[in-house]
Chains A and B, each alone.
Chain A
Amino acid sequence: MSLNFLHPALLGLLALAGLPLLVHLLSRARPPAYRFSNIEFLRRVLRSTARIRRPKDWLLLALRSLALFALAAAFSWPFLISNSASLPGEKSTVILLVDRTASMAAREGAGSRFDSACAQATRFLEQSKPDNANLIWIAAEPAAAFPEPGPNLEFLTDKLKQAHPLPEAGALTAAFDLALRQLAKVGGHRELIIISDFQASAWRDFAPSFPTNIVVRSQRVATSSPPNVAVSRLIPQPTEPVVGQDLTLLTRVRNFSADALRTQLTLDADGARQSQTIELPAWGEAECAFVIRPATPGPMAISAAIEPDGFPADDARHCVVQIRESLRLALTTAADSPDAKILGKLAKSLSWLEIANDPAIAKRPDFQFISAWSGEAPAELRKSALSGTTLIVRPAAACPLAAIRSLLQVPADPADGPLAIIASPAGWAAIPEESHPANQLFRSGDFGNPFAGTFRERLRLPAQLAALPGIRPIASFVDGVPALLECPTEGASILLWNLPLDPAKTDWPTQGAFLPAIAEIFLRTRPRGTAEPAYSLPGNSLSWSSSDPAHAGAVTLLGPTSEPLPLTETTTADGTRWHSKTPAIPGIYRWQFSGQPIAFTAVNFPDSESDLRPLEATPAFGKLDASNDSLVRQAALAQGLPLWPWLALAALLFLILESLVHSRSR
């Protein structure tokens, strides 16, 4: 900010300020002489009144000087102007980067942060009147009002008046890139004005770089952190349950306020409702679980919601759970092998298990039984487990123990040799490990020993394998040799199977506990899933595809409030694909065919927008113009703020004061 004068030639008038002092000095220098009877007496009087009188003299002198100074300065027409203001004749271009993300909907005082941002942007445009301007919204998909900055400021102010915040997170980098690209194309004085709440969770680590010749100003519209409670997670376990299986829905609620709260959490699963009261500590979170048992296969839309609060956008969370009719078991063994025959019979007995003969389905089964594994490609197998398929591996006799260790990712032992099959006519008995969930059903003893029977052949696995970290034994032979081990991975488990299924080598399949034992092993070792199912973010376009030719031209999309939404339909190599034309908002969207829902899409509020705390200070972005002054004031300074009215007023005030002091002294 600098001080300039419209009529600097008149600055010489400032010398007038010294006139009273000159008069004062001259008048004191040659006063007329007056012979008086007693000066000492007069001096005594002078001393007694000096404390009162002298300041008055000096005050009068100062007031007169100040009045003349202010008057003279007013004539020189001074004005304050920002150092970053455009030069006379230089074209100015301003791009307003206004935050439109979900957190801007937070109310502070009478209006929302977004209202305040739009009002400030409008006032700035009206005050600064740039030659060209543009408005870019910070949103999930940043958009500009004009393809390039234009002179139509009224259009921009209309846009600002009609806009409202969107329930989505902002793509900051994309928005800044768009703004800088537009500014790079223009010359003259260029300004980038950022108006945002500068939500800490979104802006803390954002550090854009700007060309040096662009003036960057930022204006924070958030002054406080409104209290907010959000449903932050909704995780189904398992992620794809089968019909009749218990589905646990873990719901996490976060409290973004400094006060402990109590709220009601309600779960809506296809119209069935459950509620729980939860206590939330200050700045903390609480988790609660709902258990439902789906009765029909197909997609199930589930929503969890709390009581509405001051920031309702994140009060609900949604997910779509695919209820499976059956689990798929792929067999990597000869179709006529004893293992395949036994497992085939098993699948026929369990309604929820099917042997995946279809190669397409077999590419991603729930279980894969690998019989007589030779130890090849353990890494590939592990990758398959990580991708979510539970592997049941029965090594062959020639399989090296190192390959098994590699598959299970346990430390290698130099003493390990190749496996060998040991047979015994008397056989061995297997004992379940009670602590394993697969044996939980049999813990009471009502269903007998899940591994009842005699096993007359087995692999020579080292007993210490079961004791290694990361390995959970399910069953062991009486002499300690592992019978069945589970090695959980981040995806699904790997089961090391050392139990023969061939009736010639065991009578276990003929035992009554065989069927429930296998069923429990399958159900308890399938991946449970700790992540939320996929969902869409607000602001994006929704899409769905189908390979069924009957669906073409007959699919509709209903929004969260069951309103039909416009779609665009495209034909692809795999079938037909539909896109919603309007940006999504949080809620459950239903894709319908012939009036019946065929798919759901969950759209969830972005987590990052729930924490409404702004940055402690307005970010400067490494530029100097991030001042605390309001944008309007900055705009006024950029135009030049005339000071003459203030100086004239000051001169008048000084003269009034002078006359008051003078009259009192008389």
Chain B
Amino acid sequence: MHRFLDPADIRRLKNYEFGAKAMVEGYLAGRHRSHQRGSSIEFHEFRQYAPGDDLARVDWRVFARNDKLFLRTFEQETNLECHIFLDCSASMGFPENSPRLSKLEYASFFAAALAWWVISKNDRVSLTLFDHGIRKFLPPASTRQHLHDLLATLETNRPGSNTSITETLARAQPLLKRKGTLVILSDFFTEPAALFRALNPYIHRGFRIHLFHLLDPSELNLDDRGLSRFIDMETNDQLTVHPHALRDAWQQELLNHTRALRALASARRADYALTSTADPYFSLFDRLRD
């Protein structure tokens, strides 16, 4: 039994399936539709012939009726390929010494469930652990052994150093051969514009992107702890403040930050969700299913 894979979750996830919109490219034909034109049985559309097109794909019946060259295109069914990016920076270790799950633990639970769920559908899943760079990359696979390796990797994973999600995304690009679904689990303490600049190549390649923003309730509300010396978990910088005095401003700043992320995600047809680690992560599966 693995730490981050709860049998209760597996029972619940058995009924989950990627929805009609989960159209990603895979190497196995059958379960999932792809916009990649090719040979399959489901008709996609007619398209006017253009020089260079394969003449074999011309619909001669249409030509006979209209004396015009039209190509008959079909949707290609493929298997799902899901790429999980898990932020393992030190900040994901928050909160420390708390009965609540840390953000990394929460993300690990979700990643484990997601991997099991993808593999259970005979789809492929990859895992990228990153902090200031890629700490671990498990290439896409759909075998039980791959799931076992992935869960073992999650169990041994510990919060690392500072975060550089943009660096990670830039380096991971050549590792992902085929487009698929990109699920990034992070606390996103980074500039939204820089993040989406790093995501642009993926978006252009046709990746379906899910940004799951994980924050602890203490981060969302900035609990009043009295005058405290805040120590940065990534840089060990210190700042003595009265959280009470900053609470409103913090919430407003957080709201602005999430609004910026949401606005940029919406503009680039990416999915963005802010989740408290106090809430069940099944809502995130709902977003994937849709």
Which residues of A are at the interface with B, using a C-beta cutoff of 8 A?
Answer: 27-28, 31-46, 48-49, 53, 665-666
Contact = CB atoms under 8 A, between A and B. Distances in A.
A29 to B, nearest CB: 9
A37 B91 contact: yes
A48 B249 contact: yes
B189 interface: yes
Contacts of A27: 227
A39 B238 contact: yes
Interface string B22-34: 0000000000000
Given A40-B189, A45-B253, A35 B237 contact: no
B235 A33 contact: no
B253 A33 contact: no
Contacts of A49: 245-246, 249
Contacts, number: 84
Given A27-B227, A32-B228, A42 B233 contact: no
B94 A36 contact: yes
Interface residues of B, number: 32
A31 B240 contact: yes
Contacts of B91: 37-38
Contact of B245 (A28, A33, A38, A53): A53
B241 interface: yes
Given A41-B253, A48-B253, A49-B249, A35 B244 contact: no
Given A34-B229, A36-B232, A42 B239 contact: yes
Contacts of A666: 244
Contacts of A665: 245
A33 B245 CA distance: 17
Q: Majority SS of interface residues in chain B?
A: mixed
Q: Majority SS of interface residues in chain A?
A: helix
B250 interface: yes
A33 B229 contact: yes
Given A36-B94, A38-B233, 8 more contacts: A31-B229, A32-B226, A35-B96, A37-B233, A39-B235, A40-B237, A46-B239, A53-B245
Nearest to A53: B245
Contact of A45 (B103, B232, B234, B250): B250
28 contacts: A31-B226, A31-B229, A31-B240, A32-B225, A33-B231, A34-B230, A34-B231, A35-B94, A36-B231, A36-B233, A37-B216, A37-B233, A37-B234, A38-B91, A38-B189, A38-B232, A38-B234, A40-B232, A40-B237, A41-B189, A41-B253, A42-B246, A42-B250, A43-B239, A44-B253, A45-B250, A48-B253, A53-B245
A32 B231 CA distance: 10
B214 to A, nearest CB: 10
Contacts of A43: 237, 239
B219 interface: yes
B252 to A, nearest CB: 8
B123 interface: no
Contact of B228 (A33, A41, A53): A33
Contacts of A39: 230-232, 235, 237-239
A621 B240 CA distance: 65
B187 interface: yes
B34 to A, nearest CB: 39
A316 B112 CA distance: 120
A38 B257 CA distance: 14
B239 A28 contact: no
A606 B21 CA distance: 117
A38 B94 CA distance: 10
B99 to A, nearest CB: 16
B227 A36 contact: no
Contacts of A31: 226-229, 240
Nearest to B246: A45
A35 B189 contact: no
Contact of B229 (A32, A38, A41, A46): A32
Contacts of B94: 35-37
